[in-house]
């Protein structure tokens, strides 16, 4: 019975990981929606406003290696909880900014510190809970990234158009605290002795134990000395740096090109949604979802 409960709790981990990636990734990729309202209100140039992404990227790069070490030492749950707390605090404080340095500290540094654990840690924990059906579990968890990126910026755009960017930031911070922090507290390290299908298991005999020891992989120092590691490092560096710039300037570029913002209405959001935006959002969400599921089946 305890083993069966362990299998079922593995899917609680998947659900929590989905909620965490859905909210955190969706909010993190929404700065482009806040960008113009913020810089226009204070009269800052777009170049100065873009420095926020540099600060966040540096915070992300510096803290990312540390999150894995801290998660192994103190547990995934507490690293995720602190990360969600930083994101929530950064968003709430950002709603009160009056100076440019506050934007860099609250929106850049605090939010940047949270990015390192918003994707890597939940997905890593899910993969540890599952041995078989790992691809399906990881695919469901990472689906939150694409769905959050496709839907939350639209919701935030509605909040900005109806309440302003300050209340929208405040509500985003409260949503992170209410949804993500409880989800992180549901996380726990996987059991080490279960032999049930679908969970991480330990070898049953000495021969399997020896084979498992041979397949544990390289140490960190050994990985640093391989060409494959640095090829992956450079690939992710180029991908994430370009992705951040595209996501930041996508909305400003669309408005500069003559594309009008979605004319949200307090009474009816759906009736005010233009057909072109609807088709585009549907295609983005569908493509992102299919890519996550196809990658999950290749994984598993």
CA–CA distance, 16 with 109 (Å, rounded to integer): 25
CA–CA distance, 226 with 210 (Å, rounded to integer): 25
CA–CA distance, 31 with 110 (Å, rounded to integer): 14
* pLDDT tens, residue by residue, 251-298: 888 888 877 666 554 443 433 344 444 444 444 455 454 544 444 444
CB 168 within 8 Å of CB 41: no
CA–CA distance, 288 with 128 (Å, rounded to integer): 24
pTM, two decimals, is: 0.76
CB 251 within 8 Å of CB 33: yes
Q: Is the pLDDT of residue 5 over 60?
A: no
Which of 84-98, 115-129, 197-211 shows the lowest mean pLDDT across its residues?
A: 197-211
* pLDDT tens, residue by residue, 84-111: 999 999 999 999 999 999 999 999 999 8
The CATH classification number of 2-201+218-299 equals: 1.20.1250.20
Place of tokens 């992710």: 236
* Domain boundaries defined on the chain: 2-201+218-299
pLDDT at residue 97, as a whole number? 95
pLDDT at residue 216, as a whole number? 57
pLDDT at residue 193, as a whole number? 52
Over residues 233-255, the mean pLDDT reads: 78
What is the rounded average pLDDT for all residues in the chain?
78
């Amino acid at each position: 019975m305890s083993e069966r409960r362990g299998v079922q709790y593995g899917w609680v981990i998947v659900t929590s990981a989905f909620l965490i990636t859905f909210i955190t990734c969706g909010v993190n990729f929404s700065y482009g929606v806040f960008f113009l309202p913020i810089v226009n209100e204070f009269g800052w140039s777009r170049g100065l406003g873009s420095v926020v992404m540099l600060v966040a990227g540096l915070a992300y790069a510096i803290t990312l290696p540390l999150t894995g070490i801290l998660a192994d030492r103190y547990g995934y749950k507490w690293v995720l909880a602190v990360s969600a707390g930083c994101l929530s605090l950064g968003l709430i404080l950002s709603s009160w900014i009056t100076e440019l340095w506050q934007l860099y500290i609250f929106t850049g540094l605090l939010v940047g510190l949270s990015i390192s654990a918003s994707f890597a840690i939940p997905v890593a924990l899910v993969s540890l809970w599952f041995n078989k059906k790992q691809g399906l579990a990881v695919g469901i968890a990472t689906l939150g990234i694409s769905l959050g990126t496709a839907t939350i910026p639209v919701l935030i755009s509605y909040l900005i158009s109806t309440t302003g960017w300050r209340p929208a930031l405040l509500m985003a911070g409260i949503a992170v605290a209410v949804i993500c922090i409880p989800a992180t507290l549901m996380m726990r390290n996987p059991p080490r002795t279960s032999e049930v299908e679908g969970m991480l298991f330990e070898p049953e005999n000495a021969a399997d134990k020896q084979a498992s020891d041979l397949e544990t992989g390289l140490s960190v120092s050994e990985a640093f000395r391989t060409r494959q590691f640095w090829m992956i490092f450079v690939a992710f560096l180029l991908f994430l740096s370009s992705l951040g710039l595209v996501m930041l300037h996508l909305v400003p570029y669309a408005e500069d090109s003559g594309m009008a913002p979605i004319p949200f209405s307090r009474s009816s959001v759906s009736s005010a949604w233009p057909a072109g935006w609807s088709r585009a959002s549907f295609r983005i969400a569908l493509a992102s979802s299919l890519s996550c599921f196809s990658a999950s089946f290749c994984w598993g």
